[in-house]
Each structure stands twice: as C-alpha cells, then as structure tokens.
Amino acid sequence: MKQIVSFLALATLAVLLWNLAPIAMPSDLGPVASHYVSHGLQENRGSNLVTSVVVNYRGFDTLGEVTVLFLSVSGVGFVLRRRSGLKVHRQRPASEIITTGARMLFAPTVLFGAYIFVHGHLTPGGGFQGGAVVASAVLLLILADRDLVLPHAALGWLESLSGFGFVLAGVVGLVVSGSFLANHGIIPLGTWNRLLSAGIIPVIYVLIGLKVGSELAALLDVMVHAADEGEAHS
C-alpha cells in the first residue's frame, strides 16, 4: 500500500515536471553566460571557459564548495571516529596481480591526476577531477594493502595549506585590485594557450587539486579503518 502511494506521488511529480520543463528551457545563452563567453577570453586568457567560470567569475562559489567538501569529510571522520564495532571477517591478502598492478599504476595515476589539474585552464579538466584521480591512486594502494597507514600529518598539512593558499589568493586579489579572487594585476596573464598563462587560475586550480586529492584520500582512509578497528576489537 505504501509503495503504491509513493509510486503515485512520484508519477504525479513526474507529469508535473515534464509539463514544466518547456517553460524552463532556454533557447540561447542568458545575459550572464554570454558575457562570460564573449569576454572570458580577454579577461582571463584561458581556453577553457568552464574553468574561467569555476575559478574566476564564480570563484567564491568554488570556495564554498571546497568548504562543503571539507565539512562532509570531517563529518565522516566525526561519525566514524570511534570503534564502529563492525565485525569484519579476516580477509585474505590481495593477490599478487593486484599488489603488482597497484605498485605499477600508482605513479602514472598520480602523474595523470597532476596533469589534469595543472592543465585545467587549457583542456577539459581541473582541480576537482585531477584530485579525484590522485585519490583513486591512493585507493589502489589501499586495495593492494589493507593495513596501509597513510601519512595523516602530511595529508592534514597539505590540505590545510592548500585551502589557506586558496583564501590567500583571494585576499591578494582583494588587496591588489579591489575584488575578492580578482584575476588582474597579480600574475601577468601571459600568452594564450601556454601552461603558464591565465594569471591566477592555474595556481588556484593546482591548490584545489591538492586539497581535493588529500581530502578524498583521507576520506578513503577513514572509511577503511572504521572496519579495521572493529575487527581488532572483535
């Protein structure tokens, strides 16, 4: 009965939304978006307009997003901070294929992640994607060796310093040219389509990449060890 009621409610919502969709459907760029598209190249000298929007025009939102990610990771750490009491069966150690493969793939994966976040202003990519790839390299290591202990202090410092650097870059913009996270007058914009161009955008995206990578690595570590400690006390 409950299932039928919830299904009916969802179906009504679906019909309503489907009828609402054409109203919300834009047929061309809005005024804000067309400013970003037509002035983004001159103002930021970056090829990837999405990056210009994320890091420069909407940089304040991105700062908020980084804060939300930090909060959720600290929330996971808080919820799982004590022994979870989970009883995990003693697992067999990972097979040789996984250990060898993880050892072989770790360095290329980290390098690929770094490539993605360093080239965020030129190609599709950026700090969040690159950070996630770096964290997946750490996941490989954890899969290969469940007892792996990550350097927590180093990860914490990396995360704090990169977050601090992001805010600092914003404040420098405020001091130099009067608006938070401004992108002119701090670092020369440089030549178009070069690695060292687009002013402060690559700097901020590298900081975001480091922050997201270390945060997600810490998240994986917390979740794996939540089960481990229960095992140790069972």
Partner 1 sequence: MMAGNELYVATALGLIFIGLATVTIKRNLIKMVIGFSVADTGVNLLIVALGWFPNRTAPIIDDPSLLSDRATLAVRSAAIVDPVPQALVLTAIVIGVGVTALMLAYVIRLYATEGSLDVSRFGRMKW
Dihedral (CA of 82, 84, 90, 93) sign:
negative
Q: Which amino acid is at 17?
A: L
Q: Is the CB of 99 or the CB of 167 nearer to partner 1? A: 167
Task: Give the integer Cα–Cα distance in Å for 204 and 183.
Answer: 11
Task: Give the integer Cα–Cα distance in Å for 229 and 86.
Answer: 8
Q: Which of 1, 60, 75, 180 binds partner 1 (CB under 8 A)?
A: 75
CB environment 189-211: b (16+ within 10 A), e (fewer): beeeeeeebbbbbbbbbbbbbbb
Task: Give the integer Cα–Cα distance in Å for 180 and 174.
Answer: 4
- Residue 31 touching partner 1 (CB under 8 A): no
Q: Which of 32, 107, 111, 148 binds partner 1 (CB under 8 A)?
A: 32
Write the CB contacts of 113 (distance below 8 Å, at least 6 apart in sequence).
130, 131, 132, 133, 134, 136, 137, 209, 213
Shortest Cβ distance from residue 219 to partner 1 (Å)?
6
* Contact stretch for partner 1 (CB under 8 A) within 2-10, 108-116, 164-172, 195-203: 2-10
- Residue 1 touching partner 1 (CB under 8 A): no
* Contact stretch for partner 1 (CB under 8 A) within 52-60, 110-118, 158-166, 177-185: 52-60
Instruction: Using alpha carbons, list the distances in angstroms from residue 118 to 45, 122, 155, 232.
Output: 15, 9, 20, 41
* Contact stretch for partner 1 (CB under 8 A) within 15-23, 144-152, 161-169, 199-207: 15-23
Q: Three-class SS of residue 9?
A: helix
User: By CB neighbour count within 10 A (0-12 exposed, 13-18 middle, 19+ buried), where does 88 fall?
Assistant: middle
- Residue 147 touching partner 1 (CB under 8 A): no
- Residue 8 touching partner 1 (CB under 8 A): no
Block residue for tokens 């608006």: 179
- Residue 213 touching partner 1 (CB under 8 A): no
Shortest Cβ distance from residue 103 to partner 1 (Å)?
26
Q: Which of 54, 118, 198, 217 binds partner 1 (CB under 8 A)?
A: 54
- With contacts defined by CB under 8 A, how many residues of the chain interact with partner 1? 66
Residues that bind partner 1 (CB under 8 A): 3, 6-7, 9-10, 13-14, 17-18, 21-22, 24-30, 32-34, 36-38, 40-42, 45, 47-50, 52-54, 58, 61-62, 65, 68-69, 71-73, 75-76, 79-80, 84-86, 123-124, 126, 128, 132, 192-193, 212, 216, 219, 222-223, 226-227, 230
